[in-house]
């Protein structure tokens, strides 16, 4: 390779002026992932991740001493000394006028890293259109003793039902125990309409296969079955962002997949801070290529 071609093929990673203090601070001890390592991870995934986290209200899981530390804050509002690259925005429906959190660019995500945010949980709507969700997230939560193959089958069950309604379906690992099936929407239906549709989907799954699925959150009933968690879809509810890390052992991330990548060879926490850059650089395209272009309005009708 000549120097010329090397220059043109090397991918430009985004750079940030946000200062990282204590870049060697360890966030995931077993994997040796540091603050600087996490910032480098987000630089690698940013070109794919940005549309799912920019200009959306965010809930943040902050662990200042890393995943084994005692401090763990689930934060929807600003904290004392918050980095100025994390923005605040008034929720137009909040009567007390309490501001929510938002980032608008790569500096924002680096500010989250600097602040020990180890999980990023956005709303399924943007701050351009607070009352009209632009996605549905169906969260598959397997109880104990559920085989991975059955979780995959459940994702396909949702895909089929969504496609029968004229909607698209994309899948990601949660980075934890399950899968998320995500549908892009043209912002049109309200939160109430979208949540009712998500509940209808979950109910339809569980009434067709009561031995496999349930649509109620009761933990005790979950053993051997998959809870089709539709509750990510109300106003103010969140789901972990595509490419967000998880504050759990293993430094896994929530990874968007093409459907043909959803096989027995991978598990819900297969993709990590460590193996993701190699994966993405080897891909022919964004695994969720065309996500927003595939958006359709959710028609409210009796189902």
Contact 232, 238 (CB under 8 A): yes
| Per-state percent for the chain, helix, strand, coil, to nearest 5 | 30, 20, 50
| Residue number with the smallest Cβ distance to Mn ion | 229
Structure token pair of residue 239: 């789901």
74 binds ligand ATP (CB under 6 A): yes
Q: How far apart are CA 131 and CA 269, in angstroms?
A: 32
The DSSP H or E segment spanning 163 is: helix 148-164
Closer to ligand ATP by CB, 225 or 232: give it: 232
| Residue number with the smallest Cβ distance to ligand ATP | 176
Q: How far apart are CB 217 and Mn ion at their closest, in Å? A: 8
176 binds ligand ATP (CB under 6 A): yes
Sign of CA dihedral 274, 277, 278, 279: positive
Interactions with ligand ATP, residue window 128-147 (CB under 6 A):
139, 141
121 binds ligand ATP (CB under 6 A): yes
119 binds Mn ion (CB under 5 A): no
139 binds Mn ion (CB under 5 A): yes
174 binds ligand ATP (CB under 6 A): yes
Contact 60, 119 (CB under 8 A): yes
Residue 74: which of ligand ATP, Mn ion, none does it interact with, CB under 5 to 8 A by kind? Answer: ligand ATP
Please state, as a whole number, how many other Cβ atoms lie within 10 Å of the Cβ of residue 280. Answer: 19
Binding residues with ligand ATP: total (CB under 6 A): 14
Residues in contact with Mn ion, shown as a per-residue x/- string from 159 to 178 under the rule CB under 5 A: -------------------x
Closer to ligand ATP by CB, 156 or 300: give it: 156
Closer to Mn ion by CB, 108 or 157: give it: 157
Sign of CA dihedral 195, 199, 204, 209: positive
Structure token pair of residue 274: 């460590």
Binding residue (CB under 6 A) for ligand ATP from 177, 195, 225, 235:
177
Binding residue (CB under 5 A) for Mn ion from 60, 141, 187, 189:
141
Binding residue (CB under 6 A) for ligand ATP from 117, 125, 239, 252:
239
Structure token pair of residue 17: 């002026």
Classify each residue of 188-219 as buried b or exposed e, where b means 16 or more C-beta atoms within 10 Å of its C-beta: bbebebbbbbbebbbbbbbeeeeebbbbeeee
Residue position matching structure tokens 């979780």: 151
Q: How far apart are CB 231 and Mn ion at their closest, in Å? A: 7
Residues in contact with ligand ATP, shown as a per-residue x/- string from 217 to 236 under the rule CB under 6 A: ---------------x----
Closest CA to 33 of 8, 60, 66, 2: 66
Residues that bind Mn ion (CB under 5 A): 139, 141, 178, 229
Residues that bind ligand ATP (CB under 6 A): 59, 74, 121, 139, 141, 174, 176-178, 232, 238-240, 268
């Amino acid at each position: 390779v000549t120097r010329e071609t090397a220059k043109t093929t090397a991918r430009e990673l985004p750079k940030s002026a946000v200062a990282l203090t204590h870049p060697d601070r360890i966030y995931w001890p077993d994997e040796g992932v540091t603050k600087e390592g996490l910032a480098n991870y987000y630089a690698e995934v940013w070109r794919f991740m940005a549309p799912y986290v920019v200009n959306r209200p965010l809930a943040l899981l902050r662990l200042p001493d890393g995943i084994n530390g005692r401090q763990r804050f689930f934060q929807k509002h600003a904290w004392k000394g918050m980095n100025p690259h994390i923005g605040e925005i008034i929720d137009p429906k909040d009567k007390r006028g309490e501001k929510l959190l938002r980032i608008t660019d790569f500096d924002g995500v680096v500010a989250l890293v600097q602040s020990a945010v180890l999980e990023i949980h956005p709303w399924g709507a943007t701050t351009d259109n607070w009352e009209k969700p632009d996605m549905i997230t169906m969260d598959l939560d397997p109880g104990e003793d559920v085989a991975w193959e059955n979780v995959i089958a459940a994702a396909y069950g949702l895909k089929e039902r969504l496609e029968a309604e004229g909607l698209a379906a994309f899948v990601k690992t949660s980075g934890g125990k399950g899968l998320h099936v995500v549908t892009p929407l043209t912002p049109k239906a309200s939160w109430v309409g979208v949540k009712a549709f998500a509940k209808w989907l979950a109910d339809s799954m569980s009434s067709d296969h009561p031995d496999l699925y349930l649509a109620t959150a009761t933990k005790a009933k979950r053993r051997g079955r998959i809870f089709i968690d539709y509750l990510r879809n109300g106003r103010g509810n969140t789901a972990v962002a595509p490419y967000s890390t998880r504050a759990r052992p293993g430094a896994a991330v929530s990874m968007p997949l093409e459907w043909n990548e959803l096989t027995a060879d991978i598990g819900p926490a297969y993709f990590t801070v460590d193996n993701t850059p190699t994966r993405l650089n080897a891909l022919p395209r964004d695994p969720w290529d065309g996500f927003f272009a595939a958006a359709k309005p959710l028609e409210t009708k009796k189902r």
